[in-house]
Structure 1
Amino acid sequence: MCETTTDTGNPSLNKLIEEWLRWDKNEKTQDELKELVARKELAEVERLLNNRLLFGTAGLRGRMGTGYAQMNDLVIIQTSQGLAKYLTAVHPEAKSEGVVIGHDSRHNSHRFARLAAAAFLNAGVPVYLYSKIVPTPFVPFGVVQLGAAAGVMVTASHNPKEDNGYKQSIEENLEPWQDAWDTEKAVADSRLSDPLVEMSGKYFTKLSASMLDRDMNQASPVSFTVTAMHGVSHEYMEEAFKVCGFKPMVPVKEQMVPDPDFPTVKFPNPEEGKSALDLSFKTANENKSTVILANDPDADRLAVAEKQPNGQWKVFTGNEEGALLGWWNWQRCQRLSPHIPASDCYMVASTVSSKILRAIANKEGFNFVETLTGFKWMGNVSHGLMKQGKTILFAFEEAIGFMNGSEVLDKDGISAAMYVAELATHLAKENKTLTDQLQEIYKMYGYHICNNSYYICHDQDTIRNMFKRMRNFSGKDTYPESVGNGRFKVAAVRDLTTGYDSSQPDKCAVLPVSSSSEMITFTFGNGCVLTLRTSGTEPKIKYYSEMCATPDQGDWKALEVELADLVNCVVEELMQPSKNSLIPKAD
């Protein structure tokens, strides 16, 4: 270990350093801090110790390393202790119901999960700890099946390899409890059990039973290439193909074994599209597959690509997948449950996702609900509707997250893959493709064209100033009235950071408001809806835009051109003062 003095000349910083070294029992992160102090990198030391990781849309997530501002053993212990303390206070039944804990294949995930288990056991809460890597959906599935009080998944999903995450809430409870570091004692505790065999069996039994026609699946003429993206999904997808009746999948062999270093992809995020799917295209072409199914590393999301007649690959956007799966779930409902009235059926989507489900609902008679971004919102809304006896058919977010039915009240890349495979098989019987069906959906319900992307920005001041400027555009508390030299008029503004909504009679937003995140939506006179928001999990400023045509509006190309022009004007005029600090999405 490094020998160093903790005297920095700053008493408050000295106290933070001494506190960390007293509480942290991990030699690696202790040494990292000592080396920073020895090198007199005091600004960095203060940044790491004087700030804590914040919860975003998908939990606590960040780079691994020393300090409260990064992911490490001590932060996991503190977070787990805080959650355990909070949970037992507001829900005393947790001491009998227990919590479900799972983890992915990233560096330190196995250890983080066991440190979390130790905290809950120390608080008197039984633990269902999956003994090996599992897809994220297995945690919410286990919570429901086991009647547990809460669930925790240790994963950074699709973030870079240096990141890890812990999906739950935190209360201040910082000093490690007795036995907080003793994972061996935790694993040997009689109150800890492994639910893997039972939950895996139930999950795949229910998935198999949900299929429309297993004989049709067995006879499918479609060959599916599947990638686990070096994550957890390979063996689970193999089992899914088997129990749902499909012929064996074609795996991307270079990516089927879990590897926390992700050697074949810079960003293990299938949402990035073609840049993340090169090996999938190669494997599919070599094996004459026409459909690619790609999970992210923790298998809660799904990307889909289909080979076109010209030999090129179309990678569907999350909104396009949402249109296909939404339509398919409605067709399935009509076939499997014709006794359920449309008025009792619901589909859900986040506010930045396409409104295609709303268009389908308006024509077919079922209900559509919009929520804030993130499945914590969609899952809660779905749970509330189910308690009222309603049927949840489908929920999705544009970031390739899909919830088919209500067995898992969260996004699930395994079941989504099976529903896409089932749809592709059904269409193949009619000599149609997924691409064909997407065009038919637009003809039936109206063309929905989206233009979404993001900029990377590591400077929080730049981000704050950008949104502050939008809120004080031509004076205090004024928003832009147009862009493009007046060509695109702003008809309404909704600011879910401040709670302002000009479209409401009382000017107050209907959706929940969060002052800790930036999110402004502009509705333009031409019908375009465009949202600018900060990511809850990554250093990104995202924009989402959509224009919707009526079914009889034929000039789709003109609509695309108009939307692209409007988006360019928004980027140039509303983000321009900050553009030097913004890195655009790589092609």
Structure 2
Amino acid sequence: MPLSPELYSQAQQWIDKDPDQATAEKLQGFLKDEDEAALQQAFGERLAFGTAGLRGLLGVGPGNMNRLLIREATAGLGRFLLDKRPSSKEPSVVIAYDGRHGSKDFATDATGVLTALGIPVRLYQSEAPTPLGAFAVKELGTAAGIVVTASHNPPQYNGYKVYQAGGTQINTPVDGQIAAQIGEVAASSKAPDCLSLEEAKQKGLLSYLTPSMLQTYTDKVLEYFSASTSSASSEQLKQRDALRIAYTPLHGVGAPIAELLFKSAGFSNTWTVPEQRSPDPDFSTVKFPNPEEEGAMDLVHALADDKEAHIAIANDPDADRLSVSARTRDGKIKQLTGDQIGTILGDELMRRAKCDKASNWSLSTIVSSRMLARLAQLDGSKHRETLTGFKWLGGEARRLIVEQGQNFLFAYEEALGYMVSPLVWDKDGLSALLLLSLLAADLHAAGGQTLWTRLEEIHRRTGLSVTFPRTIRLAPGASGSAIMKKLRANLPSTLAGQQIVLVDDLLTHPPYDASKSDGGIPKNDVIRFYIGQKSDEALSKEEIKLTLPRIIIRPSGTEPKVKIYCESRIETLKEGEQYDEKMEKLRRELEILADGFVELCQ
């Protein structure tokens, strides 16, 4: 069957505008071969611009990541900035990029389009971690920032992340306003104007962010934690010298700054996995460049064993996430979960806080462990939940400081994202790397304690908690939203012989209103179940939410799957109970509940 005239016309128009000869020729090949499947994938649906900006497969047409798509998106962003600028202020934009396929070209195209609109650009001179993009927006006071990255996605992907003035990720309604401008640009038969880097420089619209910006970031992180060698005591330096650290950037861009932080803080016994130190867009030694994935930390664990390291740290390829492994009592290196790391970091920052506890805030997402809330309760500080993602956490943290005069301590999400300072309003795996290393050195000096013994101490003081996720993969074409609708139509009252004590359906919450900051969780397609015995119904709502087993069900917005986030009853150890045995008992009980909800959702 011949191609439809409409599909043929769409493809030809794209070829006419495409600045990339390689993708234009590929598209011409699809037309010549009348490859309808490939053309439908490329033109069936435009890659949507949302709160995460853009992210998708590298390929041709508006349904994939390519140079024309980037130029159109940037032209839309530029028009938005020009429309929104104060009359007396010229907008400027920071641009950073990682080591993925196409990232440098995309950053160059974005620079050319913005400068063609007369908007000055501060472009990183070479690859830079995502946190450095957010940091530069805040540090330089620019109107926006772009980071070209797909974070920990497979090598076939790339992305385009946008920050707004102040350095937070864009959120509703800004994303929709930019998307509308992009739509108008894309409807034109003419591609956006684009200057070369040389032309932009000659016009005085392009300046480069050199290694001095990396040094500024490093200096400020060291100062925030009083961690530089010049501010450390001789005893502290001795402790840091005694800690042995294995590190990997997982073929990403984190190594130069991570190594500079280690050196500047006095950690002299550090080793980086040589096969994974330099940027490699194919991530050659791992199946999936995400520290959460099985096998991703194998090489850094092997290096840790070879060097007898006390901890092993991994950043993801754009260094905004972090994972850490530490020695257990039997001497084996074992990876901590995102919730466990978040609990340890939150506890450490509460211990370090010197200001009025009543004005100190920590934040976590609705699918993260409740341990941070319990720690804040014991500490006398405050805690708040947000929806999933640092577009919510970063915005709330900045609002607490800038608009409400409060003190921000810490924010995290269970997917290995941590914000340990107000220097970057986004997850930052590099500043978190330094704080974890400082803590590990202190613990090692205190009789050979580890991150695992610190976690146990926190559990004994606050309550034991077990968390894990489950994923239900649906058949192609199936919808996670349909599963949620089915679940709401027949909500369970009991499960596995236990009572559903409380159901919190976020779809019944008020919608998000950017003008309000009351701390409430806005409307979202999420259900939270709290399970217990009949007697637990007598507990207060706050006690139920902070104590009983909790199951959270949320559909994926991009894939045919439903995610289930599970947390056990949070209990203190009773006399005669063993810590490891109690943790295993809580895990087994939680697995029974999780299995029940998986069955309900299928």
1:129, distance to aligned residue in structure 2 (A): 0.7
Q: Tell me the equivalent position of 2:528.
A: 521
Point out the more displaced range, 184-193 or 112-121. 184-193
Q: Tell me the equivalent position of 2:135.
A: 141
- CA 1:316 to 1:163, structure 2 compared with 1: closer, same or farther past 3 Å? same
Contact residue 451 and residue 563 of structure 1 kept, 8 A: no
Q: Tell me the equivalent position of 2:72.
A: 78
**2:125 partner SS:** coil
- CA 1:218 to 1:179, structure 2 compared with 1: closer, same or farther past 3 Å? farther
1:362, distance to aligned residue in structure 2 (A): 0.7
How many corresponding residue pairs? 546
| Partner amino acid, structure 2, of 1:62 | G
Alpha-carbon distance between aligned partners in 2 of 1:564 and 1:104, rounded to the nearest angstrom: 39
1:181, distance to aligned residue in structure 2 (A): 6.8
The one of 568, 581, 584 equivalent to 2:595 is: 568
The one of 361, 373, 382 equivalent to 1:358 is: 373
1:247 is the counterpart of 2:261: no
The one of 385, 392, 406 equivalent to 2:408 is: 392
- CA 1:165 to 1:185, structure 2 compared with 1: closer, same or farther past 3 Å? same
Q: Tell me the equivalent position of 2:584.
A: 557
TM-score, normalising length: structure 2: 0.85
Alpha-carbon distance between aligned partners in 1 of 2:600 and 2:551, rounded to the nearest angstrom: 14
Alpha-carbon distance between aligned partners in 2 of 1:93 and 1:543, rounded to the nearest angstrom: 48
**2:309 partner SS:** coil
Alpha-carbon distance between aligned partners in 2 of 1:495 and 1:470, rounded to the nearest angstrom: 11
Contact residue 80 and residue 119 of structure 1 kept, 8 A: yes
- CA 1:441 to 1:309, structure 2 compared with 1: closer, same or farther past 3 Å? closer
1:131, distance to aligned residue in structure 2 (A): 0.9
1:539, distance to aligned residue in structure 2 (A): 6.4
1:53, distance to aligned residue in structure 2 (A): 1.7
| Partner amino acid, structure 2, of 1:570 | F
Alpha-carbon distance between aligned partners in 2 of 1:156 and 1:464, rounded to the nearest angstrom: 25
**1:452 partner SS:** strand
- CA 1:48 to 1:456, structure 2 compared with 1: closer, same or farther past 3 Å? farther
Q: Tell me the equivalent position of 1:263.
A: 284
The one of 324, 343, 349 equivalent to 2:364 is: 349
1:538, distance to aligned residue in structure 2 (A): 6.5
1:234 is the counterpart of 2:255: yes
1:383, distance to aligned residue in structure 2 (A): 0.9
Q: Tell me the equivalent position of 1:581.
A: none
The percentage of aligned residue pairs carrying the same residue is 35
Alpha-carbon distance between aligned partners in 2 of 1:411 and 1:325, rounded to the nearest angstrom: 13
Q: Tell me the equivalent position of 1:483.
A: 495
- CA 1:541 to 1:200, structure 2 compared with 1: closer, same or farther past 3 Å? same
- CA 1:32 to 1:249, structure 2 compared with 1: closer, same or farther past 3 Å? same
The one of 187, 202, 205 equivalent to 2:216 is: 202
| Partner amino acid, structure 2, of 1:234 | A
Q: Tell me the equivalent position of 1:51.
A: 45
- CA 1:135 to 1:218, structure 2 compared with 1: closer, same or farther past 3 Å? farther
| Partner amino acid, structure 1, of 2:414 | E
1:524, distance to aligned residue in structure 2 (A): 2.6
Alpha-carbon distance between aligned partners in 2 of 1:544 and 1:257, rounded to the nearest angstrom: 35
**1:160 partner SS:** coil
1:183, distance to aligned residue in structure 2 (A): 5.0
| Partner amino acid, structure 2, of 1:245 | G
**2:295 partner SS:** helix
- CA 1:50 to 1:323, structure 2 compared with 1: closer, same or farther past 3 Å? same
1:95, distance to aligned residue in structure 2 (A): 5.8
- CA 1:550 to 1:309, structure 2 compared with 1: closer, same or farther past 3 Å? closer
- CA 1:120 to 1:542, structure 2 compared with 1: closer, same or farther past 3 Å? same
Deviation readout 1:105-148 (Å, 9 max, x if unpaired): 00100010111112222232211110101111111111111011
Q: Tell me the equivalent position of 1:580.
A: none
Q: Tell me the equivalent position of 2:144.
A: 150
Contact residue 98 and residue 127 of structure 2 kept, 8 A: yes
The one of 111, 116, 122 equivalent to 2:110 is: 116
- CA 1:528 to 1:460, structure 2 compared with 1: closer, same or farther past 3 Å? farther
| Partner amino acid, structure 1, of 2:103 | S
Contact residue 121 and residue 207 of structure 2 kept, 8 A: yes
1:24 is the counterpart of 2:18: yes
- CA 1:109 to 1:534, structure 2 compared with 1: closer, same or farther past 3 Å? farther
1:493 is the counterpart of 2:503: yes
Contact residue 159 and residue 268 of structure 1 kept, 8 A: yes
| Partner amino acid, structure 2, of 1:402 | Y
1:57, distance to aligned residue in structure 2 (A): 5.9
**1:113 partner SS:** helix
- CA 1:223 to 1:536, structure 2 compared with 1: closer, same or farther past 3 Å? farther
1:326 is the counterpart of 2:346: yes
1:94, distance to aligned residue in structure 2 (A): 9.7
Matches within 5 A, 1:157-196: 157-168=151-162, 169=175, 170-171=178-179, 172=183, 173-174=185-186, 175=188, 177-180=191-194, 182-186=196-200, 188-196=202-210
- CA 1:364 to 1:354, structure 2 compared with 1: closer, same or farther past 3 Å? same
1:293 is the counterpart of 2:313: yes
**1:451 partner SS:** strand
The one of 521, 531, 535 equivalent to 1:511 is: 521
Matches within 5 A, 1:88-127: 88-92=82-86, 96-127=90-121
Deviation readout 1:282-324 (Å, 9 max, x if unpaired): 1111111120010000001100001224343210000000010
Deviation readout 1:30-61 (Å, 9 max, x if unpaired): 22223333333324412321312234664321
- CA 1:183 to 1:537, structure 2 compared with 1: closer, same or farther past 3 Å? farther
- CA 1:488 to 1:90, structure 2 compared with 1: closer, same or farther past 3 Å? farther
**1:395 partner SS:** strand
Alpha-carbon distance between aligned partners in 1 of 2:557 and 2:51, rounded to the nearest angstrom: 5
Alpha-carbon distance between aligned partners in 2 of 1:447 and 1:195, rounded to the nearest angstrom: 46
Q: Tell me the equivalent position of 2:478.
A: 461
- CA 1:150 to 1:249, structure 2 compared with 1: closer, same or farther past 3 Å? same
Contact residue 252 and residue 318 of structure 2 kept, 8 A: yes
**2:500 partner SS:** strand
Q: Tell me the equivalent position of 1:582.
A: none
**2:312 partner SS:** strand
- CA 1:76 to 1:264, structure 2 compared with 1: closer, same or farther past 3 Å? same
Q: Tell me the equivalent position of 2:171.
A: none
Point out the more displaced range, 542-551 or 7-16. 7-16
Alpha-carbon distance between aligned partners in 1 of 2:415 and 2:270, rounded to the nearest angstrom: 24
Deviation readout 1:68-90 (Å, 9 max, x if unpaired): 11111111111111111122222
Contact residue 242 and residue 248 of structure 1 kept, 8 A: no
Q: Tell me the equivalent position of 2:459.
A: 442
- CA 1:16 to 1:378, structure 2 compared with 1: closer, same or farther past 3 Å? same
Alpha-carbon distance between aligned partners in 2 of 1:163 and 1:539, rounded to the nearest angstrom: 18
- CA 1:177 to 1:460, structure 2 compared with 1: closer, same or farther past 3 Å? same
| Partner amino acid, structure 2, of 1:76 | I
Q: Tell me the equivalent position of 1:303.
A: 323
| Partner amino acid, structure 2, of 1:256 | R
- CA 1:350 to 1:24, structure 2 compared with 1: closer, same or farther past 3 Å? same
Structure 1 unaligned blocks of 5 or more: 1-6, 474-478, 502-508, 577-587
1:102, distance to aligned residue in structure 2 (A): 0.3
Alpha-carbon distance between aligned partners in 1 of 2:561 and 2:273, rounded to the nearest angstrom: 30
| Partner amino acid, structure 2, of 1:165 | G
Q: Tell me the equivalent position of 1:4.
A: none
**1:415 partner SS:** helix
| Partner amino acid, structure 2, of 1:543 | I
- CA 1:66 to 1:178, structure 2 compared with 1: closer, same or farther past 3 Å? closer
**1:275 partner SS:** coil
